Structures are given as C-alpha cells and as structure tokens.
Structure 1
C-alpha cells in the first residue's frame, strides 16, 4: 500500500504574508487576477481557476472578549473520498499515490459537475479558445504540486512558508504533530481543533484551527452528496456488469443530468452545506 501524505496547515502560526499565494502562482504559471477592493486584508474572495490558493482573513471576537485576527491558507482539501472524482462522467479526476486529487485536462469536457458538487467550493471552470476561436471549458484547482512531489520536492506553498505554518509529510506523522499542537494552544484557544472531516473520508490537507471551522467559513460536517455515492459506488459498477458500454454511457448521462446539476442538488437530503 502506498504511503499517504498530508499537508498540515497550522493557522495559529500564519502571519498573513501571502507568500504561499505567490509561490503557487509562480510554480503553476497562473496569470494575475485583478480584484476589487474587499475592505479587508484579504485579496481574493475565494479560490478560482486562476488562483488556486487564497489567504483568508477573519476578525473574530474570542471567548474572552478580545479580538483575534485569524488567517487561513485556503486551497483544495484533496479529499480521501472526493465528490468531484465520483461525479465526473469522463473519469477525468483521479487520485495519485500521494493522496492528491488531480484533473486530466485531456479528458475533461467542462461539464461542471465537479464544480457543483465539491463541498468546499474549490473547483472552478476556466474558459479557453482553440485555434479556431471556439470556446471551451476545463476544470482547474490546486494539484498539491503533484509534479513537484513526483520529483521528491514538497509543494511550493509549503517551501515558501517562512513562519512554518505549513508542513508536508507522512500522514501519521502530520496527525501526531497536529494533536501535539492542539494540546499546546488549548489554554489560549479553548476551541482549538483538528480539521480532518470524516464525511469526505478525511482530507490530505488538514488544519489546526484556533476556532470552530465555521468561524473560518469552512463547513462543519462536509459530506459527499448521496447521489454521487449511489452512482459511483453502486449503480455504475452494477450497470457496467449488466449492459454494454454505449448503453451505460447513455444511462450515465441521464443520471448525471438528473442528480449532479444544481437543480438535482436541491433534492439532496442534507441540503449540501457549502462554504469556503
């Protein structure tokens, strides 16, 4: 079994320098994305197809009546059980041996189901034009610098983090460090916790948070949509065993349009709590 790796983000050490954002832009050759002034220290409202990680900023009144300035490195969580992978009708999204979740642009058809079903809102579609001027779309998001990992390097954001708010290593080691850190900061931050949500099988980007996830705009209990589980884990394998490929493709298109689009999501039992 391949060794699982995790990016550990300790928000209590982050000083808001945004070096992680710059490193990500530089390594992945992502274009600048001018933004309107947001009225805070935060430069971008959310991640996008051209900005794969964002430094978020929250002013929070703590339990002692004081004011805390909370920063958080925000990017793809790389879920162990990723909704985007489940709903992709072209199998364009897959897991790597490092635990990262990546998109194959050669297979992506820009349907948008991954964007609509991500419980963290970290996938976006980007518009492109071919040599004839025809427009098409491809999904984009953080890759956890899988190309760097394959060369024995760490993610660009991790290597540039000067206060040591991010680390990358084997899962068990990172979890142990997270637990130790939470115990160290509990006196100052009574609500300190580890964010590694079970509803998506855990994540390969885990956080040490000073406050509850919702304070940072993160979903408290994110889950893979029920329709995605039924389709990927039950209906699709059974269907492939019973019918031909062409028929299965037609069935797949029907199910995808019925359950994975925004209208279909309105019928989810849990309502699909989405924040980022």
Structure 2
C-alpha cells in the first residue's frame, strides 16, 4: 500500500501543535528568534526546526481578511533534488517513500541544501570531542522511525483539526478532490499541490490559493545537470574508478610475477 501525508491548509488554525510535537519526538533544540513583524514564530525551516506554520494575511473581495496558514516541511519528493545532488549517496527513499539522510555518510558539503527548491533541508553544526566543528544535513524524516513501528507521523497525531493526515495514497487523493470541490466556493483559486515536474510528492497539499502565495514553486523540476550527474556521470565515474583500480592491481601482480620469473631465470642461468 502506498501512503502519503495529506495537508489541508483550509482546516489549519495555526496552533503550531505540529511544530511542538516534531521538536519533542525528534529531540530538536529550541531556537529563539527575534521578532520579525509577523505572528509567525519562525521565519523558515532550519536544521533544528523541521516544520514551520507559515502565516499569510490575504484580503478578500468583500473587504474581509483571511489567514492562510501552511504546515511547511520537507515534501519528500518522488524525484528528489537533494538525493540527486548528494555525491555520497547519503540521501535515499525508504519503503514508505520518505526521503531520509544517512548521517554516517553525510559529509556536510551542502549540495543538497542548494538543490532543494523548497528550502526544506539545512546544515547543522556540531563539535566533535576534539573541539573541531563539522556539519551534517538535517530535515524532516516524515517520522520514518514511527512509521516502522506502525505509528503515524508526530505532526499528524498532534493536529487537532484534521488538517494533517497520513494514510493510503489513493484514499487520501480521492478525499482531497472531494474536499477541493467543497472549498472552491470560498477559495476559487484552491488547488491540489502535487507537482508532477518531480513526479509528485509524498506530502500533498490542498491549497486555498496558488502555490506562490504560500512561497511554493509553481512547477518545480530537478535540474538536468543533477540528473546527468547522479544517473549517468557518477555511476560511470565509479565504474571507471573500479576498472582503473583493478588495472593497477593487475599491473602490480603482473610486475611482481615478472620480477619473480626474471629472478628465477637468473638463478638458473648462474647454475
């Protein structure tokens, strides 16, 4: 069964319970930010704040105001730019289609950060036992550790309005279309955000307005250079490295045998 996380922003009341539950479950440190002129508690996703409720104030045609909230976190793209950009194969998809980072493989190069069109992945700084700083990429895991135990993502469990749900992909997409038809009267620009330029996402949204209103790219795509690098150049490079290594080893063995044979022939000649 394919599963997704579905976020209906029209049900969100901006309570931030998802943010708190994410912090608690993943043992992430608190981050105190200076006031930046908004009800929004954090300006954006960081290496230690994996989801943020964004606040957008929008004026209606009747002169009233709407608050457009969005639970902002990693999209878990089917074709993920961060995965394509990683030179160490430290980013991969799980059986739940969540995109996760292998911290043992991550070297903190930051290519994934540059590649992500959703600004959902960042570098965290750590200090080793010798006092030397090092970096690791960090982001939402869609609570893969909870999914492995048959539980829901922490954010979905904490959401009291039902704005965040996790479950069967086909069922949730069907429900999303039904819900979309209902909210169109109030939000004529409402849409299902599941961009096909990256073959869809594992976090699907029902948005009340066009994606750009929420700071989302209209039609994100993996850069051709990343596809060429990950799917062609890197495998060929590794294959060539393997062939070269074997050639060097073979040459070393051949030279050793030749020297041994020459030494034996020399001894026979002297005898």
Structure 2-normalised TM-score?
0.87
Picking from 161, 164, 167, the partner of 1:163 is: 161
1:45 — aligned with what? 43
Instruction: Name segments (4+ residues, structure 1) moved above 6 Å.
Output: none
Q: Structure 1 residue 148 and structure 2 residue 156: aligned?
A: no
How many residues were matched structurally? 245
Picking from 12, 15, 27, the partner of 2:13 is: 15
- CA-CA distance at 1:233 after TM superposition: 2.0
Picking from 157, 171, 174, the partner of 1:173 is: 171
On the 8 A contact 1:4/1:97 being kept in 2, the answer is no
Stretches of structure 2 lacking an aligned partner (at least 5 in a row) = 246-271
Corresponding residue SS for 1:244: helix
For residues 42 and 194 of structure 1, the distance between their equivalents in structure 2, rounded to whole angstroms, comes to 24
1:83 — aligned with what? 81
For residues 73 and 245 of structure 1, the distance between their equivalents in structure 2, rounded to whole angstroms, comes to 45
Corresponding residue SS for 2:46: coil
For residues 38 and 208 of structure 1, the distance between their equivalents in structure 2, rounded to whole angstroms, comes to 27
Picking from 90, 108, 111, the partner of 1:110 is: 108
Picking from 216, 241, 244, the partner of 2:241 is: 244
Structure 1-normalised TM-score?
0.86
For residues 198 and 142 of structure 2, the distance between their equivalents in structure 1, rounded to whole angstroms, comes to 18
2:199 — aligned with what? 201
On the 8 A contact 1:84/1:115 being kept in 2, the answer is yes
On the 8 A contact 1:9/1:206 being kept in 2, the answer is yes
RMSD of aligned residue pairs (Cα, Å): 1.5
- CA-CA distance at 1:172 after TM superposition: 1.0
Structure showing greater radius of gyration is 2
For residues 247 and 68 of structure 1, the distance between their equivalents in structure 2, rounded to whole angstroms, comes to 63
